[in-house]
Structure 1
């Protein structure tokens, strides 16, 4: 076993949706540092171009390219697929990270919040994946499968609404869909796994992670005592996308600091001395 190359991604091409900010940005940097050519897409094409410029300035082994891409509609998915086809003839890694959320209290949660959130988080993710299958198959071998990494959430694992009902339900769907696709695509040498993150610094969680004081307060409610860091995402991506993850499919990695195993207080707590 060559430890030096276990997590190297030289010669690999990756697409990350929602790649300009948050978890997508974290993943993009580690993949570039590992040697991959990383395509970054989001609705804000200028932001993706700016991030690509930053990553290319690192002097790392890989490179980055940024452009606009919207998975919130069928037309947007088709345009993104066409753009990826124009840039490469095979794809080794697809990270479905683009996401939407909506918050409102129970009793006031609007119907349209379901259409928007499920459209991006589930329908867009699925449609993009199936339309990129020819490129993923072209980049896959039995010894080195193509990799799909879907970004779910710990809120899709645990009974947590927190006013984001459609978001939580959509992430539960992402996790289940990842397992279905893992089963169906294994014969094509394509692995499908999911991340189930807890709180990380991102545009979506800015209300709770925007400054050090707020992050520390949020971290107190996480069993491991902090919010997630860049290396927490980076380590998962290097494992799943590198040689070490070649024999793993259908897994859900709980990058949530232990929130995934929180089950409430000890039922005998009041009886204990």
Structure 2
């Protein structure tokens, strides 16, 4: 049997890195956090519910090191508070995964301002002010050959017009894609990369209602690979972007959607 070259294995290592995953108590955030924990990173997760956050961190701790920091990231003040609490524990942050998000579906004639504001506050304002607040920790971790990483979870709904009436959600995801490109350009001199993972359909609370209404077969009809994204797809892509293999990628929007974006 041919021996595996250790240098190739190390291309994808994130062991020893300090990682913050927002919205990490369930769904894509939980999957990504689990992947990093199992890969040997020290992971912090946050969510609005302190109880849910603690329970998720306890579950993930069976695989490695994971800590809970409850936060509602819909305001600049909460983003600063989270950054301050993390700085009390850590002197650097290697990877920030902006995953926390909200969705609001409503008929155009009835779409409320409160729903629009909730989605944009969490999906766009939150990632911006969290990056701003965490800049000192990210810069402390960054080097020319090994940048600090910001990975934001966008959506293929930010790349096309969805059939369902989620006006604020699709608009916010398009906005955060552009915001990430802007930040990538601005932060490159500080050796901080900024990239977006744009998932397709993933079994989550957000998708549950649509899946129940339309059915799995109809939902998968436009997906060339004919399946939903799974935990490995999400975690693997985030780990790749955070590893040495992804150190020269910045300003990219990477669809993880089974080929759906190719048919749009």
Shorter chain as normaliser: what TM range? over 0.9
* 1:66-99 Cα distance to aligned partner (Å, 9 max, x none): 1211111222212211211112110000000000
Q: Which has the higher helix share?
A: 2
How many Å apart are 1:206 and its aligned residue?
2.1
1:64 matched to 2:66: yes
Secondary structure, aligned partner of 1:35: coil
Which residue is 2:185 aligned to? 183
Which residue is 1:243 aligned to? 244
Any gaps of 5 or more consecutive residues in structure 1? Answer: 264-273
Asked whether the 8 Å contact 1:156–1:169 carries over to 2, the reply is yes
Asked whether the 8 Å contact 2:222–2:263 carries over to 1, the reply is no
Distance 2:139 2:81 in 1: 20
Any gaps of 5 or more consecutive residues in structure 2? Answer: none
1:1-273 equivalence runs, <5 A: 2-58=7-63, 62-160=64-162, 162-209=164-211, 214-263=215-264
Distance 1:117 1:7 in 2: 34
Distance 2:186 2:114 in 1: 32
Change (3 A) 1:226 1:258: same
Asked whether the 8 Å contact 1:46–1:67 carries over to 2, the reply is no
How large is the Cα RMSD of the aligned pairs? 1.7
How many Å apart are 1:262 and its aligned residue?
2.0
TM-score by length of 1: 0.90
* 1:147-200 Cα distance to aligned partner (Å, 9 max, x none): 000111000011225110000000000100110011110110000000111110
Distance 1:161 1:73 in 2: 30
Higher alpha-carbon deviation: 217-226 or 199-208: 217-226
Change (3 A) 1:239 1:27: same
Distance 1:150 1:106 in 2: 28
Distance 2:69 2:211 in 1: 27
